Amino acid sequence: MTVQRGKKLSISIQEHMAIDVCPGPIRPIRQISAYFPRLSPTSPTPLSPNPTSPPPALSPGSGASGMGGPQLLSPLLAEGRPGGGGSLSLTSSIDTSVEIHSSDSDDCTALGTLEFELRYDQSSSELHCTVKRAKGLKPMDFNGLADPYVKLHLLPGACKANKLKTKTIRNSLNPVWNETLTYVGITEEDMHRKTLRLTVCDEDKLTHNELIGESRVPLKRVKPDQTKRFHTCLEHPPPLPSPTAMGEALRGISCYLREWENEQLHSLEERGRLLLSLQFLPPLSSEDEDVEAGSEGRRSGGLCVGVKRCAHLAAMDVNGFSDPYVKIYLKPDIQKKSKHKTAVMKKTLNPEFNEEFFYEISLSELANKTLEVTVWDYDLGRSNDFIGGVCLGCQSQGDALRHWTDCLKNKGRRVERWHILTNELPRTMSHD
């Protein structure tokens, strides 16, 4: 009869308890009578567990498998009562796992910290990043040290054209740079939608450079003309989603979305920045002709296009530079007479042109035109390489449309604006 009750007790426990094996002292069954009087072998009272209140959870010992010999059980200790093993209920098991995860060493301790400052000068459209120092970097070399440097990228659209880099500090886990890196041609739209990625890397001359950690800051956190200081923990780059753990249907969708995203990023790849000035000059009267004797006899109005400078152009030559020049068209160009071209600037990614070109045209006609501006890399003896371009007209979008509209609305006023160069050729280039 005792065996029958033992079997019923075993079934009742397995139905209600959360089994969790834990280390701790193993006590014989006779010592459990103090905790569970109904389990005492000398008690004549039959076993009748209360269905409304499930019996306390027990952790089976080495003899709980039903084999021969006395059964050994580890009692469930009340909270706060001394003893080995700790809490074993289902709720406390979840709490314990959270505590374990929270006490694990995080990226802040493993990878190090980075201090830097950001400032956006709205008048000059410049973003200044002063990289101060790093502390407690992860050792990357055999000598227990590292050769760290910091590189910057603007996201989305990270590429070589918008990469800036600090100097390398040799054999240090606590490097001090105090170096200011400047992005030129950063618009207000960039400050709202771009993110600055700061990556700390270890330089290796014999092998490839290794990544230590990174930090990302949305530029919208930086207010114009104010310096903001950051002290961030370096983190691992976010992992790319792997479709191998998904089902067949989700795997196909994931691959399709990844290919589509790569195509979108490739088509929108930034190739640098271009500073343009537009000014519509109204027709000259007879009095204006006497005053402006240097106007070379211009009587009708027209559009004056100023090609000022470029910044952060993509490197098209093997030496890491380009030989850029700018071409402009006013389309549609039936007579093929709207082409203008600047001089070639040798071996630079930040050329300054400061050249102006004039199109004699009325304001009504200009409203139906599109200004195409393209930047090219000059190559002697072979075809020139396309770096990037932008189109300005009533069919444009974003900064290009705003620049064109401001020019048409403010006759006689010179309007300057930075534009992002993309690697996509203008659609009307096929007509040339």
Q: What is the CATH number of the domain that holds 313?
A: 2.60.40.150
Within 10 Å of residue 26's Cβ, how many Cβ atoms? 16
* 225 and 304 within one domain: no
Q: Who's near 226: CB < 8 A, 6+ residues apart?
A: 119
Using CA atoms, how far apart are residues 421 and 273, in angstroms rounded to an integer?
6
432 located within any domain: no
Could you give the CA distance from residue 207 to residue 139 in angstroms, rounded to a whole number? Answer: 16
- pLDDT of res. 100: 29
Per-residue confidence (pLDDT) for residue 320, from 0 to 100: 86
**pLDDT of residue 421 exceeding 80:** yes
Q: Is residue 89 scored above 60 in pLDDT? A: no
Cα distances from 250 to residues 143, 254, 270, 352, in angstroms, run: 46, 6, 31, 50
pLDDT of residue 262: 55
Check the CA dihedral 243-246-251-257 and report its sign. Answer: negative
- 153 lies in the same domain as 223: yes
Is residue 98 scored above 60 in pLDDT? no
DSSP-derived pairing of the beta strands 113-121 and 227-233? antiparallel
Q: Is the model's pLDDT at 78 over the cut of 60?
A: no
d(CA 11, CA 15): 6
Of 36, 33, 196, the closest CA to residue 114 belongs to 196
User: In the prediction, which pLDDT does 9 show?
Assistant: 46
Are 186 and 127 a contacting pair, CB within 8 Å?
A: yes
Query: Does pLDDT of 219 surpass 50?
Result: yes
167/210 same-domain check:
yes
pLDDT number for residue 194: 93
Q: Are 421 and 387 in contact (CB under 8 A)?
A: yes
Domain annotation covers residue 10: no
When the pLDDT of each residue in the chain is averaged and rounded to a whole number, the result is 75
Residue 217 lies in a domain: yes
Q: Which residue has the higher pLDDT, 122 or 285?
A: 122
Q: Are residues 415 and 308 in the same domain?
A: yes
Same domain, 131 and 212: yes
**254 and 202 co-located in one domain:** no
Inform me whether the pLDDT recorded for 56 exceeds 70. Answer: no
Looking at the predicted structure, is the pLDDT value of residue 304 above 50?
Answer: yes
Given a cut of 90, whether residue 157 has pLDDT beyond it is no
So what's the pLDDT on residue 248?
55
Least confident of 78-92, 105-119, 130-144, 183-197: 78-92
In a shared domain, residues 175 and 254:
no
C-alpha 9/C-alpha 17 separation (Å) is: 12
- Helices within 268-367 (DSSP H only): 286-291, 363-366
Lowest mean pLDDT among 67-81, 267-281, 308-322, 406-420: 67-81
Question: Averaged over 242-258, what is the pLDDT?
Answer: 56
Calculate mean pLDDT across residues 165-171: 96
Number of domains in the chain: 3
> What is the predicted pLDDT for the residue at 352?
95
Partners of 227 in beta bridges: 119
H/E element holding 28?
A: strand 27-28
Q: Is the pLDDT of residue 400 over 70?
A: yes
- At 40, is the pLDDT very low, low, confident or very high (cuts 50, 70, 90)? very low
| Cβ-based burial of 241 (10 A; exposed 0-12, middle 13-18, buried ≥19) | exposed
> Considering the domain boundaries, does residue 386 fall inside one?
yes
Residues 6 or more apart whose CB falls under 8 angstroms from that of 160 comprise: 314, 315
Co-location of 253 and 388 in the same domain: no
Q: What is the mean pLDDT of residues 194-207?
A: 93
Average pLDDT estimate for 392-406: 92
Reported confidence tier of residue 213, pLDDT bands at 50, 70, 90: very high
2: its two tokens: 């005792």
Same domain, 229 and 263: no
What pLDDT does 229 receive? Answer: 96
Integer angstrom CA distances of residue 416 from 184, 271, 304, 400, 406: 14, 20, 12, 11, 10
User: Within a domain: residue 18?
Assistant: no
Question: What is the rounded CA–CA span in Å between residue 252 and residue 250?
Answer: 5
What is the C-alpha separation between 299 and 277, in angstroms, rounded?
A: 22
Which own/partner contact pairs does 211-217 have at CB distance under 8 Å and 24+ positions apart? 211/237, 212/111, 212/112, 212/137, 212/138, 212/140, 212/146, 212/148, 213/107, 213/111, 213/112, 213/114, 213/138, 215/114, 216/155, 217/118
pLDDT band at 260 (very low <50, low <70, confident <90, very high): low
Secondary structure (H, E, C), 322-333: CCEEEEEEEECC
Which pLDDT score, from 0 to 100, does residue 119 have?
A: 97
C-alpha span between 150 and 397 (Å, rounded):
34
How do beta strands 148-155 and 164-165 pair? antiparallel
Same domain, 220 and 248: no
Asked if residue 94 is part of any domain, the answer here is: no
pLDDT for position 289? 52
Of residues 139 and 425, the one with the higher pLDDT is 139
Pairwise pLDDT comparison (361 vs 292), residue with the higher score: 361
**Does residue 126 carry a pLDDT above 90?**
yes
186, 279: one domain:
no
Structural domain including 260 reads 242-267
Q: Which span out of 16-20, 71-75, 111-115 was modeled with the highest average pLDDT? A: 111-115
The answer to the question of residue 358 being in a domain is: yes
Please tell me whether residues 320 and 219 are part of one structural domain.
Answer: no
